[in-house]
């Protein structure tokens, strides 16, 4: 085979990056050539939101998104650093010349900043982001397989923490929890064993500081794996076909708890999140009616929070369902706005009450003038549409002050973690 014919096989067709095999060969060569004291960083990068963009906007837009992220990463690299596509939404970067583990943070920050700029996809603005896991030669392994495996474990941990996160490998990650098959089997009977619980996170009025609503967050208290947040097991529930059952359980229990607070004089709204799968399976309205009827909760104290995906996937069906929920008296909100691919044009034709700003916007808002401009614009346009705005992910007093100054209506986040409580502690919430 001629060299001209061999070259294309070394490049990924979509991104133009080197293929996985080439990337691994480069890493092997770096490891083999390393002198005593040399350190090499292996970065396993996961491109956030690609699956959601493929579903909502189509594979072509997903390809455009992935390619733009890949080119940003390539342009970000210094001499001697290499990049290759591992497959799907995963990219490998190898960085030689690391003197100490702390040096990796500077490389990662450079990548996160460059990849985190908004991307225009047709008439949609997507706040792009990546998660990065890292391992270090020779600290975390001396072979390609060890380094790749440990960087992948770190990447998975970064994803658990949320979007635009970084994790350096630690030995504790080797005990990385159950694999998918074990988790699916273990979760199958979780509802029947009464192992799920609801944690309630407060939403405060930005002006008065009073708690006006609580957001229900499901957790699995597994006898085998301990307490697990929903992000760790919701995929297993989906694979088991249990999303509908989880949805009914959440609605029923959240309404029951809200009714018990209402009876003692605390008329707090309860916010229940639902995924696109839970919303669009044809049974959601019945589930809401069952929950309200069984609890006797006033409908205006229930708020359904939808994802951006649910608004876009089947707009006509979603609009019809939301009109029915609105006629029932239920409040409606869209969560995580600004991190995905919905725009305010999608919202203008829907009977929504509340827009939740993504925690991705809030996390960096104090030091990023572009994010501040986006936040100001979203709040102003949401108010023009007569929507309340809630900011999630508020962790600093300065963030709360800034959002209050911009006219944000409600605040939620770890700054008020001491006010979180379990469903079993409703008596404490009244104190």
pLDDT in tens, 378-406: 999 999 999 999 999 898 999 999 999 99
**Helix or strand (DSSP H, E) at 24:** helix 20-33
In angstroms, the CA 362 to CA 354 distance is: 17
Token pair listed for 62: 């997903």
Shared-domain flag, residues 166 and 215: no
Domain stop point among 128, 158, 174? 174
Count of domains forming the chain: 2
In angstroms, the CA 163 to CA 51 distance is: 14
Domain stop point among 131, 158, 174? 174
Shared-domain flag, residues 107 and 135: yes
pLDDT at 343: 67
> Position of tokens 């072979």?
143
Model confidence at 352: pLDDT above 50: yes
Shared-domain flag, residues 423 and 304: yes
pLDDT category at 427 given cuts 50, 70, 90 is: very low
The CATH number of residue 422's host domain is: 3.20.20.450
Backbone φ and ψ for 41, nearest 5 degrees, come out as -95, 135
Higher confidence at residue 319 or residue 286? 286
Shared-domain flag, residues 388 and 275: yes
The model's pLDDT over 246-261, given as tens digits with 9 standing for 90+, comes to: 999 999 999 999 999 9
In angstroms, the CA 271 to CA 301 distance is: 9
Shared-domain flag, residues 152 and 273: no
What are the residue ranges of helices labelled H in 264-307? 276-279, 284-295
Domain that holds residue 87: 3-174
Average confidence score pLDDT of the chain: 87
Shared-domain flag, residues 271 and 140: no
Higher confidence at residue 36 or residue 309? 36
Sign of CA dihedral 421, 273, 331, 394: positive
8 Å CB contact between 8 and 2: no
pLDDT at 308: 76
8 Å CB contact between 259 and 267: no
Shared-domain flag, residues 87 and 217: no
DSSP assignment of 111-124: HHHHHTSEEEETTE
**Helix or strand (DSSP H, E) at 220:** strand 211-222
The model's pLDDT over 54-88, given as tens digits with 9 standing for 90+, comes to: 877 888 999 999 999 999 999 999 888 999 999 88
In angstroms, the CA 94 to CA 213 distance is: 47
Shared-domain flag, residues 281 and 424: yes
Backbone φ and ψ for 139, nearest 5 degrees, come out as -60, -40
The CATH number of residue 82's host domain is: 3.30.70.270
pLDDT at 176: 59
The model's pLDDT over 196-242, given as tens digits with 9 standing for 90+, comes to: 999 999 999 999 999 999 999 999 998 887 888 887 788 889 889 99
Q: Which of 359, 332, 207, 357 is nearest to 269 (CA)?
A: 332
């Amino acid at each position: 085979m001629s060299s001209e014919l061999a070259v294309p096989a070394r490049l990924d067709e979509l991104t133009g990056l080197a293929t996985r095999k080439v990337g691994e060969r480069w890493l092997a060569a770096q490891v083999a050539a390393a002198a005593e004291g040399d350190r090499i960083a292996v970065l396993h990068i996961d491109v956030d939101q690609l699956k959601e963009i493929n579903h909502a906007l189509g594979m072509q837009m997903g390809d455009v998104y992935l390619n733009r992220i890949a080119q940003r990463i390539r342009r970000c690299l210094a001499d001697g650093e290499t990049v290759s596509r591992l497959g799907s939404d995963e990219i490998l970067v190898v960085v030689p010349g690391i003197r100490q583990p702390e040096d990796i943070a500077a490389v990662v920050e450079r990548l996160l900043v460059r990849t985190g700029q908004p991307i225009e996809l047709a008439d949609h603005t997507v706040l792009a982001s990546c998660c990065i896991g890292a391992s270090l030669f020779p600290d975390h392994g001396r072979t390609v397989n060890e380094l790749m495996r440990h960087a992948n474990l770190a990447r998975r941990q970064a994803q658990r923490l949320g979007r635009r996160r970084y994790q350096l490998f630690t030995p504790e990650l080797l005990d990385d929890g159950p694999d998918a098959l074990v988790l699916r089997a273990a979760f199958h009977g979780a509802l029947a064993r009464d192992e799920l619980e609801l944690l309630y996170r407060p939403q405060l009025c930005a002006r008065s500081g009073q708690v006006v609503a609580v957001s229900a967050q499901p957790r699995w208290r597994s006898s085998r794996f301990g307490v697990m947040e929903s992000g760790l097991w919701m995929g297993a529930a989906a694979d088991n076909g249990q999303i509908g059952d989880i949805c009914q359980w959440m609605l029923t229990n959240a309404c029951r708890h809200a009714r018990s607070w209402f009876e003692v004089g605390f008329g707090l709204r309860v916010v229940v999140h639902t995924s696109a799968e839970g919303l669009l399976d044809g049974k959601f309205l019945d589930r809401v009616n069952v929950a309200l009827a069984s609890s006797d909760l006033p409908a205006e104290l229930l708020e359904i929070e939808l994802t951006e995906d649910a608004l876009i996937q089947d707009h006509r069906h979603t609009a019809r369902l939301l009109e029915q929920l609105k006629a029932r008296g239920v409040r409606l909100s869209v969560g995580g706005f600004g991190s995905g691919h919905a725009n305010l044009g999608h919202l203008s034709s829907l009977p929504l009450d509340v827009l939740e700003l993504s925690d991705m916007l809030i996390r960096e808002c104090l030091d990023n003038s572009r994010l501040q401009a986006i936040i100001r614009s979203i709040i102003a346009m949401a108010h023009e549409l007569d929507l309340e705005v809630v900011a999630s992910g508020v962790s600093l007093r300065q963030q709360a002050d800034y959002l209050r100054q911009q006219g944000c209506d409600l605040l939620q986040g770890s700054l008020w973690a001491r006010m979180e409580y379990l469903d079993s502690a409703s008596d404490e919430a009244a104190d």
